[in-house]
Structure 1
Amino acid sequence: MADGYTRLENGQPRTIGRLLNPRSVAIVGMSSKPNTAGHIVLQNLQANSFAGDIHLIGRNAGEVSGLPIRTDIASLPAGVDLAVLTVPAAAVEEALAGCASRGVGAAVVFASGFAETGEAARQEQERLSRMVRASGMSVVGPNCIGYTNFVEGFNVAFVSVNEVPRLAPGTTDAVAIIAQSGGLGNHMRLGLNARNVPVSYSVSTGNEMDLGLGDFVLHLIDDPATRVIMIYAEHIRQPGAFLRAAARAREAGKPIVLMHPGRGQRAKEAAKSHTGALAGDHAVMRVMAERAGVVLVDTLDEVLDTAEILARYPRPSPGGVGILTFSGAFCGIAHDFCDDLGIAIPPLSTETEAALRPQLPSFIPPRNPLDLGTEAVWRPDLVGMGASALLSEPSVGGVVVSIPVVSPKLSLAYLNNILEARRGSHKPVALALLGDGSPLPPELLAAVREHGVVVSRSSDRTLRAMAHVLRRSPPPAPSQADRPRAPELPAMSGAGPQPEWLGKEILATLGISVPGGRLAGTLEQAILVAGEIGYPVVLKAQAAALAHKTEAGGVILNLKDEAALRAGWDRLMGNLRQAQPDLRLDGVLVEAMSPPGLELVIGGRRDPQWGPVLLVGLGGVLVEALGDVRLLPADCSEGEVLTALNQLKAAKLLHGFRNRPAVDLGAVARAVRAIGHLLLDHPEIIEIDVNPLMVHAQGEGAVALDALVVTA
């Protein structure tokens, strides 16, 4: 932050402070007619005792609340902090230009009718965006409902008039809300208020003509009242800026919880019609955002539940979940549910078991989940003892207590024991009180609010939120010390798909094994190559214009001797003449047939918004039939690759299955990492596909049987 009011991002001033906490405000589009948007904005300023200067600009001169309405933006004093535009879409450009000419620091545009309405309006919005950025003024909107600063008690809104409840001085555990939908932002705020979680800011960003999610994240990193940043986004319009901001938030210890719809085509279309979003690839967004430390959630329940835990426990430890319950049935439910969530319920260490055993009745085994049965009715202290033991377990990162609601006295006893157990621990503890919507004792609710206990009425929701929190701890940044120097690649034949033989030469420079063989221009050369590498061999027609060799009959397999090779050559040439009569071949690739193994796929592409991303999974024809793949960032470590492989649905095949040996996962991880480095070092490569990568038994490596490289 350059000063209290200006944020520098890439050398450009971002006047977030002048927006959120201005010293002077101009309302543009004011009229003498009551109950209009301008009047509501003014009433919000007055209801919250705004002490700065207020200037009114409208078409016709007049007076509102003792303030004169001026008819020309040029009459504004220079350097007003904030202009609130209550004008229709057609008047926005003129108003923004006028504000910029008077050195206004920031503006809010309420008007709809921009990118959310179609392509022509989107282009118009982009033109205005370029104008705004050239002026140095910062703009929120268009198509937004405003924002509220709960720290200073400042509210910009046109829907209703509200007195803003200010945060208590010294608050450091608040959640800031940034939402591209004002309605959902309000839902999130009310949900947090109901949980007694303070909110520092609630900002509706709308179409993000100028200021985007990353700008607000950067500002909030240094805000002392904000502990967690909650985001609802239908499209992250500036991915690079957002990822840089998210990485800085992670370094500063400020979690970001993001809800981003758009996994399916209908959700993408809904987002497009709502905020003018040009939806990108949701799966790519997810892998890149999670790599930057963002917690991605899929439902409105999860975004609130997860943000609450992180607001109460900002430094969760990595690890699995410890579960305490009074129900043996719930133990089985929890195992199934946590398996689906991908979060471990780790067994207790021998030390913890030994410490627990003498304190528990003989019929209660010391294990995780810890089922106290009905014994806790007579011994409430067991709840605290069990929770304390789970929290002390190194493999446990957080604890979920799932118990029924009983008498007020006993419920308070359980709660007090839990409070005592969590004392001194930074690990999150969440309490699920069973009984759905049944009433809770008022004295219990009062104690929950007083002590900031995370409470829900759903064990499912509590476990899901805890899983998000415990998975948040990101892997360490991959070491660059062992990163190989960028190889000098073979010359490529212009833009577009490269022939397979050239793709394999590129792979060979990366140290990825390819079958023995080389390009042959004639039958005689093919016979010579086959004699050198040994039969059986495969023939593959080679030309950049031959996109689908197999479909065109351009691949002949398992030629066991010279006679078979001659016949195969004739058959291949006949197939090509019929499929693509004008095709000009580079030659025919003569290669040794690979021994059988497990077919995987490694892919990489340069996403136009998010940059390079990798794919690994089950290969061959199954990649399209089953789609059993995982995405990874291009700078992933070998450990991350191995984790992704073991998350495949077909992971059993990797470790030996039905008399098949375990495969060489190390070779796969090295190949994936090498392809990631290739994409990072060579921006001219926009796509690469190795399918199949034939993976052999452990220690025997992997061979790329086919390779497609596409250049820009």
Structure 2
Amino acid sequence: MGRDLSALFDPVSVAVVGASDDPAKYGHAIAAQALRANGRRPVHLVNRRGGTVLGHTAAAGLSAIGEPVDLAVISVPAAGFEDAVEEALHCGARAIVAITAGFAETGDAGRARQRAVAERVRAAGAVMVGPNCLGIADNTTDLFLASDTFDPGGVALLSQSGNLALELQLRFRPHGLGFSRFVSLGNQADVTLVDLLADCARHEGTRAIAVYAEDFADGRAFAEAAADAGKPVVLLTGGRGDASARSAQSHTGALTTSADVVTAACRDAGVELVATPRELTVVLAASQGARRAAGRRVAVLTDGGGHGVVAADAVEAAGLTVPELRRPTQDHLRRALWEQSAVANPVDLAGMGEQNPGSYADTVSALLAAEEVDAVLMTGYFGGYAAADGGLGGGGTALADGEQEAARLIAARHQAGAKPLVVQSMYPGSPSCRTLAAAGIPVFGATEDAARALAATAPAASPAAVHTGVTPLPHPDAPLREAGYLPTRRALEAAGLAFPAAREIHGEAELLAVTEEFGGPYVLKALHLLHKSDAGGVALGLAGPGELRAAFREMHARLGASSYSVEAMADLSDGIELIVGVHQDPRFGPVAMVGLGGVLAEALRDVAFALAPVSAERALRLLRGLRTAALLDGVRGRPAVDVSAAAAAVETITAFAAAHPEIAEIEVNPLLVRPDGVLALDSRAVLA
């Protein structure tokens, strides 16, 4: 069920501690907002001087109120914060909104104070948002405890930025979007983003959840909560650069950036990841109608060739397709439109809209009905005939009236179907476009926004991009004590991964004894080197004992390793080399990487990521999503390889890594996939 946050969002009573008449103080803004809902529940203002605040009697302390307080907003100097919390708990507070700053964000001493306060709150059975937050609001319960007013609607915003909330408010309005809830996350000393996400998922007044987060803390728990939300979750986050890969000691670590991890977590959890407040707004506008396209095929409708070409390019840039319409659809459109209209896709009315605005409605209806179309983008001038600010109709002509009627017909036909329809207009605020928007049809002024909105309604572009959920972590196994090549290899073999025969040797006598156990060709590896190939510590294709001995003498003279591994040389002729690795991310836990491997792993960077452990079914999707996936099925006379065996090996490796949190990085490279199975040819691990 998650934590009970009912006292936070629908308290019996509220007290604002630090309420003030001074407009420069945050307690002034909070108090003014809180009083807006004074009829819903008692609102008490507390100022240590007593008197009046904003024309209302102020108590000198919470205890002076004379009745229990369910939720206390604390906006006092940091020096008095602990005392204010203690008094609030003494007065029965079940929830605290801590505006006061000066804690974990200031260093170790502040972090220790913050931890102690959070422990005290939890011990009392209460909950606390903050400290260092900007307040909360819930339009569904008339709870206004932030400095600004938020338009009501169905979006819950959980944000580490207050100014971002103000920008989103402005961007939401043209699309009829508003807020069910707003929570400024602050330092998350007690109530976390995950707690709030889970509560908003249960909240009937919330239809979609928007998140702005710079630090996830427990990113894996966030992904799990988002996957279980049952509502659209849209994430805007920063800091997705590649700094985390700089100190990596394996190919896996070097190839895994923070952006890769966040993207993989969002994909697995079904979260829409966006880069800007504008894109966040576009995706939320697209989710309003809860329509999902069955495929990625888009029909573009315009009344001007230029808009159609630009829109088609934008649609394809968003990862969608603009296929040529089938003959029956084209024939139907030719009968409905005039001779100069283009009907292949994009469909261009070629000026017919000015003669008969109803042609827009007729064409939209035909395109929504076409089997080869999954969604429709109408772009260009529609809206201009009825616009009062420069459109042809001037807001009052027969042409304007015709466009308005066309808008009503489009809205009706859209509502009768199930396919998404998105509109881009030069006049998005016109009466006709407002009619469309009121019917749940997203309307945008920018073509790229309309294309992005359609992409948000479409299914995954590739098997690797399919939302699969987050697999729970297994119980930890007994930790590895050594991370050398042979201990790691033995542990993986015990987990079920196949390797060629191998023996550890320390000198020539042992070397020759190995040749009596199994025949050549051989591989010789110098042990205790992380990147053996880079150091010249691997010799391949040694035909017999003589070549093996010569390679050993040369390598030992050059490297002087304490021991070596002699291994049976695998047949590489019909195989594909993959890389499979797991990197322990501090926020999201184990993250798996699969891709084309061997010595070119970093150069080609044809890799895919997922939260580990990865099931064989999921691994198969990741492998099929690689750019070079065609190699797996055989090209230029080469046979297809056993992709199912490769997927099973990925499951084995990632399950092993997930059960060993002490491993910071582990990889098998190359994992040789042949027509008849797989062999792990090399492995490495780095302990945390």
Please tell me the TM-score bracket, short chain as reference: 0.7 to 0.9
Q: Using a 3 Å threshold, how does the CA distance of structure 1 residues 387 and 661 change in structure 2: closer, same or farther? A: farther
Mean Cα displacement is larger for which, 50-59 or 85-94? 50-59
2:178 pairs with 1:178: no
How much does 1:430 deviate?
Answer: 0.9
Q: Which amino acid in 2 is paired with 1:563?
A: G
Separation in 1 of the partners of 2:219 and 2:142?
A: 31
Q: Using a 3 Å threshold, how does the CA distance of structure 1 residues 591 and 385 change in structure 2: closer, same or farther? A: farther
SS in structure 1 of the partner of residue 483 of structure 2:
strand
2:416 pairs with 1:424: yes
Confirm or deny: 8 A CA contact 1:192 1:199 kept in the other structure: no
Which residue of the partner structure matches residue 3 of structure 1?
none
Q: Which amino acid in 1 is paired with 2:115?
A: E
SS in structure 1 of the partner of residue 262 of structure 2:
helix
Map 1:586-625 → 2, pairs under 5 A:
587-596=564-573, 597-625=575-603
2:141 to 132, 152, 162: 152
Separation in 1 of the partners of 2:185 and 2:291?
A: 29
Q: Using a 3 Å threshold, how does the CA distance of structure 1 residues 367 and 94 change in structure 2: closer, same or farther? A: farther
2:102 to 99, 107, 113: 113
Separation in 2 of the partners of 1:374 and 1:182?
A: 47
Which residue of the partner structure matches residue 632 of structure 1?
610
Separation in 2 of the partners of 1:325 and 1:204?
A: 42
Separation in 2 of the partners of 1:451 and 1:488?
A: 52
Which residue of the partner structure matches residue 681 of structure 2?
705
Which digits, 9 at most, give the CA deviation of each residue in 1:69-122, with x for residues without a partner? 444444455641111111122322222222223321111222233333445534
In structure 2, runs of 5+ residues without a counterpart are 246-256, 387-399
Confirm or deny: 8 A CA contact 1:515 1:594 kept in the other structure: no
2:378 pairs with 1:401: yes
How much does 1:641 deviate?
Answer: 3.3
How much does 1:505 deviate?
Answer: 3.7
Map 1:27-426 → 2, pairs under 5 A:
27-30=16-19, 36-64=25-53, 67-77=56-66, 79-158=68-147, 167=152, 174-250=154-230, 254-264=231-241, 281-311=258-288, 313-326=289-302, 333=310, 336-345=313-322, 367-378=344-355, 380-392=357-369, 396-405=373-382, 406-408=384-386, 409=400, 411-412=403-404, 414-426=406-418
Separation in 2 of the partners of 1:708 and 1:632?
A: 20
Confirm or deny: 8 A CA contact 2:511 2:549 kept in the other structure: no
Separation in 2 of the partners of 1:182 and 1:488?
A: 40
Which digits, 9 at most, give the CA deviation of each residue in 1:107-152, with x for residues without a partner? 1222233333445534443343333333322122222222222223
Separation in 1 of the partners of 2:424 and 2:350?
A: 16
Which digits, 9 at most, give the CA deviation of each residue in 1:560-586, with x for residues without a partner? 232211111212322332xx6xx4x3x
Separation in 1 of the partners of 2:359 and 2:677?
A: 54
Confirm or deny: 8 A CA contact 1:32 1:62 kept in the other structure: no
Separation in 1 of the partners of 2:80 and 2:476?
A: 55
Separation in 2 of the partners of 1:152 and 1:124?
A: 32
How much does 1:464 deviate?
Answer: 1.4
How much does 1:603 deviate?
Answer: 0.7
Which residue of the partner structure matches residue 273 of structure 1?
none
Separation in 2 of the partners of 1:662 and 1:517?
A: 28
How much does 1:455 deviate?
Answer: 0.6
- Paired residues in the alignment total 656
2:484 pairs with 1:498: yes
Confirm or deny: 8 A CA contact 2:74 2:96 kept in the other structure: yes
Instruction: Give % identity.
Output: 32
Separation in 2 of the partners of 1:640 and 1:348?
A: 34
Q: Using a 3 Å threshold, how does the CA distance of structure 1 residues 648 and 574 change in structure 2: closer, same or farther? A: same
Q: Which amino acid in 2 is paired with 1:418?
A: I
Which residue of the partner structure matches residue 690 of structure 1?
668
Higher relative contact order (CA 8 A, sep 6+): 2
Confirm or deny: 8 A CA contact 1:177 1:230 kept in the other structure: yes
Which residue of the partner structure matches residue 575 of structure 1?
558
Which digits, 9 at most, give the CA deviation of each residue in 1:500-520, with x for residues without a partner? x34334444455443344434
2:500 pairs with 1:515: yes
In structure 1, runs of 5+ residues without a counterpart are 1-7, 168-172, 269-279
* TM-score, normalising length: structure 2: 0.84
Separation in 1 of the partners of 2:499 and 2:314?
A: 43
Separation in 2 of the partners of 1:72 and 1:647?
A: 62
Which digits, 9 at most, give the CA deviation of each residue in 1:509-539, with x for residues without a partner? 4554433444345434433444554332111
Map 1:538-549 → 2, pairs under 5 A:
538-542=523-527, 545-549=528-532
Separation in 1 of the partners of 2:549 and 2:403?
A: 85
Separation in 1 of the partners of 2:372 and 2:602?
A: 38
SS in structure 2 of the partner of residue 306 of structure 1:
helix
2:430 pairs with 1:454: no
* TM-score, normalising length: structure 1: 0.81
